Amino acid sequence: MSNPIVDAAQKHPPPERHVYTYGTAGFRTKADVLDSVLTRVGLVAALRSRKLDGKWVGVMITASHNPPEDNGVKLVEPMGDMLEESWEVIGTEMANQPTPEAVLDYYHRIAKEQNIDLRKPANVVVARDTRASGARLLGCLIDGLKASGAEYKDYGFLTTPQLHYMVRCRNTEGTRDAYGVPTEVGYYEKFSTAFKRAMNGRKPNGHLTVDCANGVGGPKLNELYKYLPSKETGLEIFVTNDNVIKPEALNVDCGADYVKTNQRAPPSSKTGPGDRCCSLDGDADRVVYYFKDEQNVFRLLDGDRIATLVASFFGDLVRTSGLADQIKIGVVQTAYANGAATDYVEKTLTLPVTCTPTGVKYLHHAAQKLDIGVYFEANGHGTAIFSHKTLEVIKNYEPKSPSEAENLETLRACIDLINQSVGDALSDFLLVETVLAHKRWGPQEWLNTYTDLPNRLLKVIVNDRNIFKTTDAERKLTSPEGIQPQIDREVQKFRQGRSFARASGTEDAVRVYAEAATKAEAEDLARKVSEIVKTAGGK
C-alpha cells in the first residue's frame, strides 16, 4: 500500500549527487535543483509545528539578493525568528535522504527522537517572492505539507519580513502580547499608524527615492504608501526599480547588495546632490541609504550607520523620558562593522558593543539578551529588540513632566514601528525617516557623525575552507596553526590597522577584511593578509 510521504518524495526526486546544506539563510541555490528540497521542507515544517504543539511556523520561498535564476527556502519559528539551530541539521539531513523510503524512515525517526505526537495538528504559513520559479516550488512545498497532514495558509506574494510578521501575529492572536492582525492590511495599518504617532506632526526634510531591486518590496511599498499620504505625513516617496513583471530584472544593477558591494548608486538613479536615497534587496529585509554630496561624490549610509543613528536616538529618548536608570541600550555588531562605527558607539554614545559571528541569527540572539538591543549587519539587515522587562517598564512608567510624556509617547510609538521579529526594510526606513525628522538632519549631518576608516574586502580561493577555524567572534584564526601571529605582525605595521580572515559560508573561499588610516594602507594590508592565507591553504 502506498504512503503519502513516499508518494510525495517520489514525485519530486533529488538530482543525482547533489548535496544540500541549510545555511544561515536556509537552502539557497539554482532554482532548478530545489524541487525535492521544497517537498521535504514541507515535512520538516509539519514536524516542527507538531513539536511546538501545533503553533504556526513559517516557510518563505526566496533567494533574497541572489540572481533571478536562483531560489531558496527558509523556515520561521513561532515568534518570527529564524529556525532553531538543531533543526537546521534536521533540515539538511532530510534534504539529503537518498530515496523516498529513506525520507519516510527519517520522518518517523525524527518524530521518535523529538517525542513528536504525529496525531497533533500542524499549522504552516507560506509565502514567496516574485521569482519565476516560485510558483513551481510552492507546488512542491504544498505536496510535502499535504503528505504530512499539515494545515497551511498560503499568503501568495509577501516580503520575507511580512511572512515573519504573519507567523508572529497568528501565534500571539488573542493574547496580551498580540503583535498585530495577521493580514497584509493589518501589517500596513500597524506600521503606518506607528509612523504617524512617532513623527508626532514633524515632517521629513525633502523627498526619499526608494530603489526596490525589482523585487517584491516594490508592490508592497506602493501598497504601504497608500496608508501614508504625503498631505498628512509630509513623506514624499519616489519608488524606482519596482518592475516585477520582468522577473529576470530582479537584483540586476540595483538593490541593496548592488549598492553596498559596488559603492555606487544604481545606474538608473537620477537624483541630485543631497537627495536622500535608499535601496532594498530582493525580498525587502535589508535597506541601505546613500546620497551624493555637494561635490557629487557618492556617500553610503550602510547598516553600521543605521545602527548608530537608531542607537543614539533611543539613547536620547530613554534619557529624556526619565528611564535612564532602568533601561540599558546596547549595540550588536559583527567583525565587519567599521572600526570608526564601533569607536563612535563606545566613546561618543557611551553604549556597550557586543561582537558576534557573521549571520543575523547570532546578532538577533545577542540582542535578545539586552534591555534594548540594536543590531544591523553592514549590509543593512537589522532591527531593534526590546526585552519583556523593558516593554513592561516603558508601558507602566508615569512621566513626571509634559516633556517626559512626549518623549515617552515617541518611544512607545517606535516600539510599534519596529518589526521586532526580523530585519524589515520597510519598517526600518520608516524608523530612519522618523529619527532624521526628529533630529532635523539631512543625510550630510548623518554622515558627519563619524568618518569611516578606509577598508577593503578580498576573496581568496582555497582548496578547503574548512581548515580555517576562528575564535573571538571570527576575529582570530585558531587554524591553520601559526597564521594568526603572522596576521598580527602585519596589522602592527599600519596606522589604525585591523584585519581578520574567515571562511566563507557559501563557497570555497576565505574572506579577508582589512582597515587602516588611509585607503592605500587598507589595500596594502588586505593584500598582505591575503598572501598569508593563500600560502596556508590557497590554490
Instruction: Tell me if 96 sits within 8 A of 18, measured CB to CB.
Output: no
Length of the chain: 539
pLDDT of residue 76: 97
Query: Cell triple for residue 7?
Result: 508518494
pLDDT of residue 148: 98
Query: Exactly one of 2, 36, 49, 64 is catalytic; which is it?
Result: 64
Query: Cell triple for residue 260?
Result: 553596498
pLDDT of residue 538: 57
| DSSP codes, 272-331 | -TT-EEEEE-TTS--EEEEEE-TT--EEEE-HHHHHHHHHHHHHHHHHHTT-TTT--EEE
Task: Note if 64 is an active site residue.
Answer: yes
Nearest CA to 100 out of 48, 151, 143, 150 is that of 143
Instruction: Tell me if 277 sits within 8 A of 211, measured CB to CB.
Output: yes
pLDDT of residue 176: 87
CATH 3.30.310.50 domain position(s) in the chain? 455-537
Beta strands 476-479 and 469-471, pairing class? antiparallel
Superfamily of domain 4-157, CATH level 4: Alpha-D-Glucose-1,6-Bisphosphate, subunit A, domain 3 (3.40.120.10)
Contacts of 267 (CB under 8 A, 6+ apart): 253
pLDDT of residue 270: 87
pLDDT of residue 517: 96
Place of cell 534587496: 281
Q: Any known ligand binding at 499?
A: no
Could you read off the pLDDT tens digit of each residue along the chain, which spans 539 residues? 689 999 999 999 999 889 999 987 799 999 999 999 999 999 999 999 999 999 999 999 999 999 999 999 999 999 998 999 999 999 999 999 999 999 999 999 999 999 999 999 999 999 999 999 999 999 999 999 999 999 999 999 999 999 999 999 999 999 988 999 999 999 999 999 999 999 999 999 899 999 999 999 999 999 999 999 988 999 999 999 999 999 999 999 999 999 988 889 999 998 889 999 999 999 999 999 999 999 999 999 999 999 999 999 999 999 999 999 999 999 999 999 999 999 999 999 999 999 999 888 899 999 999 999 999 999 999 999 999 999 999 999 999 999 999 999 999 999 999 998 899 999 999 999 999 999 999 999 999 999 999 999 888 999 888 899 999 999 999 999 999 999 999 999 999 999 999 998 767 789 999 999 999 999 999 999 999 999 987 55
Q: Which residues pair with 409 in a beta bridge?
A: none
What whole-number distance in Å separates Cα of residue 294 and Cα of residue 273? Answer: 6
What whole-number distance in Å separates Cα of residue 323 and Cα of residue 345? Answer: 20
What whole-number distance in Å separates Cα of residue 70 and Cα of residue 34? Answer: 9
Nearest CA to 60 out of 133, 156, 184, 188 is that of 156
Q: Any known ligand binding at 285?
A: yes
pLDDT of residue 504: 83
Q: Any known ligand binding at 119?
A: no
Instruction: Tell me if 54 sits within 8 A of 121, measured CB to CB.
Output: yes
Query: Cell triple for residue 283?
Result: 525580498
Angle (nearest 5°) at CA 327 between 325 and 328? 100
Instruction: Tell me if 487 sits within 8 A of 532, measured CB to CB.
Output: yes
- Residue 127's Cβ-side half-sphere holds a number of Cα atoms within 13 Å equal to 22
What whole-number distance in Å separates Cα of residue 114 and Cα of residue 119? Answer: 14
Helix (H, G, I), strand (E, B) or coil at 234: coil
Q: Is 380 left (phi over 0), alpha (psi -120 to 50) or beta?
A: left
Nearest CA to 289 out of 298, 300, 304 is that of 300
Query: For the domain 455-537, what is the CATH code?
Result: 3.30.310.50
- What CA–CA distances, in Å, run from 385 to 368, 373, 522? 6, 5, 34
Nearest CA to 18 out of 123, 118, 95 is that of 95
| DSSP codes, 334-359 | ETTS-HHHHHIIIIIS---EEEE-SS
Q: What is the crossing angle of helices 134-147 and 4-11, to 10°?
A: 160
Q: Any known ligand binding at 64?
A: yes
- What CA–CA distances, in Å, run from 412 to 198, 224, 322, 439, 492? 8, 21, 14, 18, 46
DSSP H helices, 15-77, are 35-51
CATH 3.40.120.10 domain position(s) in the chain? 4-157
Q: Any known ligand binding at 379?
A: yes
pLDDT of residue 431: 98
Whole-prediction pTM: 0.94
Query: Cell triple for residue 180?
Result: 498585530
Place of cell 523516498: 100
